[in-house]
């Protein structure tokens, strides 16, 4: 059954999801903040700069009016940078009645943690829209590949199975497989923190380290993510799944990853700002790094890779110093649950 869907955010992933959803037979309206950007979207019928070659169906509408993008929709898909999530939801809120039985499902596709509050994105949404029907869509899903209809598998987390299954049905097709899960917290923590580890993996690549080092960063990175996520209440299965190890592997290994690309540039000697300017997209790992370290301290969880990334990004430590400090840390058992 066709749904009315508003996609809030016209970056690469917003356009990729609009492409997917319209091809699935749904009526899609894409919102972008300025009329100038909307004019460009209309002219190309897509985002020529951020997702070239992906042309959306003629039925897709573009608007800078939040009312037009949200009012009367069955589903609202949020695809905005984490730093702008709260202000965007404030714009959405006047057009959603959370006391109505007909309120839309809010699908969060943003991977990040709000630095000032240490909230995951779903909690930010609920803070501004109490009672909203919120879920999260996450997993290894580069926009460039979704736009080419290459096989992709993701997971939808929701508070109730009915919501999860409805989103599953709307998004899923023969090249976009959707699983469901009740562990929204675990999914969002995995999604946010993998960007920080991807920065580290990129730094290792840029500095010229080999596959051994990359494998170690991915493996020890998921250990750090899992420790924190489980301390916060997430489930181990999520960190071993698509939104954990799945998203971490693709983000650490692919040149589609803006976090890895930024890390490579930093590993080659560029500053954080120079790297972000060259990537020309939002590097979420930079925004999540401080929040991840603050959460680690709050929950008393050891996260040496996350700490090292923060020191390189914000305290002037060199990549070489960061690597050396990781390698000469105190000797220890790999898994504290296994002992003699």
Same domain, yes or no, for 157 and 264?
A: no
List the domain range (segments joined by +) for residue 77: 4-182
Mean pLDDT within 126-150 = 97
The string of pLDDT tens digits covering residues 39-98 is 999 999 999 999 999 999 999 999 999 999 999 999 999 999 999 999 999 999 999 999
327: confidence class by pLDDT, cuts 50, 70, 90? confident
Q: Which of 144, 163, 182 is the last residue of a domain?
A: 182
Distance CA 253, CA 195 (A): 12
Cβ within 8 Å of residue 61, ≥6 positions away = 28, 29, 30, 68
The residues assigned a catalytic role are: 194
Q: How many structural domains compose the chain?
A: 2
The string of pLDDT tens digits covering residues 165-216 is 999 999 999 999 999 999 999 999 999 999 999 999 999 999 999 899 989 9
Q: Give me the pLDDT at residue 336, please.
A: 76
Q: Which of 118, 153, 182 is the last residue of a domain?
A: 182
Q: How many CA atoms lie within 13 A of 75 on its CB side?
A: 27
Q: Give me the pLDDT at residue 330, please.
A: 84
Same domain, yes or no, for 144 and 270?
A: no
Q: Is residue 121 part of a domain?
A: yes
Same domain, yes or no, for 177 and 224?
A: no
Q: ∠ CA(30), CA(36), CA(37), 5° rounding?
A: 40
Q: Is residue 336 part of a domain?
A: no
What's the pTM value of the predicted model, to 2 decimals? 0.93
Residue with tokens 């989103």, as numbered in its chain: 167
């Amino acid at each position: 059954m066709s749904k009315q869907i508003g996609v809030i955010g016209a970056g690469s992933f917003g356009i990729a999801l609009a492409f997917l959803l319209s091809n699935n037979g749904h009526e899609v309206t894409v919102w972008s903040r300025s009329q100038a950007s909307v004019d460009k979207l209309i002219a190309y019928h897509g985002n020529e700069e951020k997702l070239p070659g992906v042309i959306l169906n003629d039925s897709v509408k573009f608007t800078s009016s939040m009312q037009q993008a949200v009012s009367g929709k069955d589903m609202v898909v949020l695809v905005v940078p984490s730093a702008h999530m709260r202000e965007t939801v404030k714009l959405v809120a006047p057009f959603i009645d959370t006391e109505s039985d007909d309120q839309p499902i809010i699908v969060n596709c943003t991977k990040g943690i709000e630095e000032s509050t240490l909230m995951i994105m779903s909690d930010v949404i609920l803070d501004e829209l109490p009672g909203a029907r919120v879920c999260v869509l996450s997993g290894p899903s580069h926009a460039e590949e979704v736009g080419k209809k290459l096989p992709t598998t993701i997971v939808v987390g929701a508070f109730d199975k009915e919501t999860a299954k409805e989103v599953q049905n709307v998004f899923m097709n023969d090249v976009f497989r959707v699983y469901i899960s009740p562990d929204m917290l675990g999914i969002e923590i995995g999604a946010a923190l993998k960007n920080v580890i991807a920065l580290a993996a990129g730094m290792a690549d840029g500095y010229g380290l080999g596959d051994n080092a990359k494998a170690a960063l991915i493996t020890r990175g998921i250990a750090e993510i899992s420790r924190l996520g489980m301390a916060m209440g997430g489930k181990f299965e999520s960190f071993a799944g698509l939104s954990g190890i799945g998203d971490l592997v693709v983000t650490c290994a692919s040149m589609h990853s803006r976090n890895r690309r930024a890390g490579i540039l930093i590993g080659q000697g560029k500053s954080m700002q120079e790297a972000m300017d060259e990537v020309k997209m939002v590097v979420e790992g930079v925004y999540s790094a401080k929040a991840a370290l603050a959460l680690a301290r709050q929950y008393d969880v050891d996260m040496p890779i996350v700490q090292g990334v923060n020191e390189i990004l914000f305290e002037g430590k060199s990549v070489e110093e960061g690597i050396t400090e990781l390698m000469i840390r105190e000797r220890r058992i790999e898994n504290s649950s296994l002992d003699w």
